[in-house]
């Protein structure tokens, strides 16, 4: 199977599919997708740099990395819940009014 170089359009298509996957599978909002991607890139870079400098921590960096990504997903979920509650309060006209 010959290797096909990545063109601009194929990279954009791959990026869009990743972006959709984050929204569909992890149910992340737009800001959550950005934070998740940044955390992913920073985490991978830190692990690579630590290994390049000869660090041998075993599985500890992967555990911290997994906890970081879980934290991003959790904060995004909580943030969307808070936004939904605030919107409901605004639409309903406040805490005291119920009809």
The predicted-structure confidence for 22-40, as pLDDT tens digits, reads as follows 888 888 888 888 988 998 8
Q: 75 in a domain, yes or no?
A: yes
Q: What is the pLDDT of residue 82?
A: 92
Residue 85 lies in domain: 8-92
Q: Does the pTM exceed 0.75?
A: no
Q: 69 in a domain, yes or no?
A: yes
Q: What is the pLDDT of residue 97?
A: 52
Domain count, the chain: 1
Q: 18 in a domain, yes or no?
A: yes
Q: 98 in a domain, yes or no?
A: no
Q: How far apart (Å, rounded) are the C-alpha atoms in residues 29 and 80?
A: 8
Nearest to 75 by CA among 41, 32, 42, 33: 32
Q: 48 in a domain, yes or no?
A: yes
Q: 99 in a domain, yes or no?
A: no
Per-residue pLDDT for 98 more than 90? no
Burial 21-40 (b: 16+ CB within 10 A, else e): ebeeeeebeeebbebbbebe
Q: 52 in a domain, yes or no?
A: yes
Per-residue pLDDT for 99 more than 70? no
- Put residue 27 in one of left, alpha, beta given phi > 0 → left and psi -120 to 50 → alpha: left
Q: What is the pLDDT of residue 48?
A: 85
Between 71 and 59, the more confident residue is 71
Q: 42 in a domain, yes or no?
A: yes
Q: How far apart (Å, rounded) are the C-alpha atoms in residues 22 and 74?
A: 14
């Amino acid at each position: 199977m010959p290797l096909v170089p990545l063109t601009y359009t194929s990279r954009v298509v791959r990026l869009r599919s990743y972006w959709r996957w984050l929204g569909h599978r992890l149910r992340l909002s737009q800001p959550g997708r950005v934070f998740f991607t940044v955390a992913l890139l920073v985490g991978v870079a830190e692990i690579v740099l630590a290994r390049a400098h000869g660090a041998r921590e075993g599985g500890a960096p992967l555990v911290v990395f997994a906890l970081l990504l879980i934290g991003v997903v959790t904060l995004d979920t909580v943030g969307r819940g808070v936004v939904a509650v605030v919107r409901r309060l605004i639409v309903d006209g406040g805490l005291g009014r119920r009809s």
